[in-house]
Amino acid sequence: MNASPEFVLHLADNALILGQRNAEWCGHGPILEEDLALANNSLDLIGQARLLYQHVAQLRNDGSTEDTLAYFRDQQDFLNFTLLELPHTTALAPSARAQRDYAVTITRNCLFSAYMLQVWEQLQHHADAQLAAIAAKSLKEVRYHFQHAADWLVRFGDGTDESHARAQAAVHFLMPYTQEFWSEWPVSQAIFGDVNALRTAWHDLVQQVLTEAGLQLPAEAGYITQGHLGVHSEHMSYLLAEMQSLARQHPGATW
């Protein structure tokens, strides 16, 4: 049985948008090793997105391709979590994207990769053989993504007063956005059924990292974002404008 094209598109959009965000550190990493680490992380995510978009195109059978799905859809057509489109800062003015805070990047990667560990673990056994194969490949990559982010989050939390404060601020800022992981979305519920087990496993993993880092886990409260339904923050349009501009300027080009 094939998976829902909408759900596979959601997975692809998540990977593409976070890959684009992490790629913004290329040439700007705090140290050379981290510059390369985030570049590799982005390549993994964009590679996952390509495989998933190709599968969506096959499922839809409507003439779409990985390129049209990535570069020629508008903001409201993307189904990624809002968490992944946010700039690398706790200051949400769009111009603040130049004022990157590595603690925000690391915290987001930790929270999301902890979630995707649970998702890929389940999907590698899905009846859709192609999705299961993508999940098995992606699971190996996301294990590294999580370990990298968790190690750095512990280093920040257990480091200087400033690194601890920045890490804690990032956790407090980003945690409310993780509520969207557990939204009552029929498309996702059809895949996972009751998400309570998934949520418990994610919470325990995140709590373990934060405890080791000496950081506090804030309550998941407040407005629940709806990026997975196409309702995005103001930052999404800026991200897409940068990512899609070349393809849209030369729509008939081949690369």
Q: CA 90, 20, 11, 251: dihedral to nearest 10 degrees? A: 140
Which are the contacts of 161, defined by CB distance < 8 A and separation ≥ 6? none
Q: Torsion angle of alpha carbons 98, 242, 74, 252, nearest 10°?
A: 180
129 domain residue, yes or no: yes
- The reply to whether the predicted model has a pTM over 0.85 is yes
Mean pLDDT, rounded, for 55-80: 95
pLDDT value of residue 98: 52
On the question of pLDDT at 194 being above 70, the answer is yes
8 Å CB contact between 17 and 80: yes
Residue 254 lies in a domain: no
Phi, then psi, of 231 in degrees rounded to 5: -100, 100
Categorize the per-residue pLDDT at 252 as very low, low, confident or very high, splitting at 50, 70 and 90.
confident
CB contact at 8 A, 116 and 147: no
Domain assignment present for residue 104? The answer is: yes
pLDDT over 70 percentage in the chain: 97
pLDDT at 192: 84
**96 pLDDT band (50/70/90 cuts)?**
very low
Which CATH number is 93's domain given? 1.20.1260.10
In this prediction, residue 255 has a pLDDT band, given cuts at 50, 70 and 90, of low
For residues 202-214, average pLDDT: 97
| Total domain count, the chain | 1
Residue 66 falls within a domain, yes or no? yes
Is 255 part of any domain? no
Residue 190: its pLDDT value, please?
80
In a domain, 90, yes or no: yes
Specify if 100 maps to a domain. Answer: yes
Q: For residue 15, what are the domain limits? A: 5-249
Quote the pLDDT of residue 220: 78
For residues 201-212, give the mean pLDDT: 97
How many whole angstroms separate alpha carbon 36 and alpha carbon 121?
27
User: Mean pLDDT, the chain, as a whole number?
Assistant: 93
